Amino acid sequence: MLEKLIQVIAFCSFVISLTCLLSNFNRSFETTVKLFFLIFSYHTYMVSFSVKILFYIFFSWISIIFSEVINQIIRMRIMHFKFLFHNILLIWILYPILCFNQNMSS
């Protein structure tokens, strides 16, 4: 169950990065994606669109790597749900902060 949840999170992040790339070719689609970014993370809405693309591609790879590590740990049965939840929460909180810092430095 947890394995599937982590895979879904990683897959969603990857889809978001692909959506960013595709949205460059269609203006109305880009607006829809930007609205989704606003819901997904209010910090990233302040960052320029090209920076968003780079950050989401980077974040999707981090999510995929993270899910693989977690899957390995779950297979070894030494991972507790509380620790898993805190790690996922930490990644999803730190990412908007990174984007916000990027926006402040430019």
Predicted confidence (pLDDT) per residue in 46-58, tens digit: 455 556 566 666 6
The parent domain of residue 39 ranges over 2-105
pLDDT band, residue 25 (cuts 50/70/90):
very low
How many C-beta atoms surround the C-beta of residue 42 within 10 A?
12
Average pLDDT over residues 85-102: 60
Q: What is the distance, to the nearest Å, from the Cα of residue 43 to the centroid of all Cα atoms in its chain?
A: 13
- Confidence (pLDDT) at 49: 55
- Confidence (pLDDT) at 90: 58
pLDDT digits (tens, 9 = 90+) for 63-89: 656 666 666 666 665 545 555 555 565
User: What is the rounded CA–CA span in Å between residue 17 and residue 64?
Assistant: 12
Number of domains observed in the structure of the chain: 1
Is the pLDDT at 62 greater than 60, yes or no?
yes
Question: Which residues lie below 8 Å from residue 73, measured CB to CB, with a gap of 6+?
Answer: 79
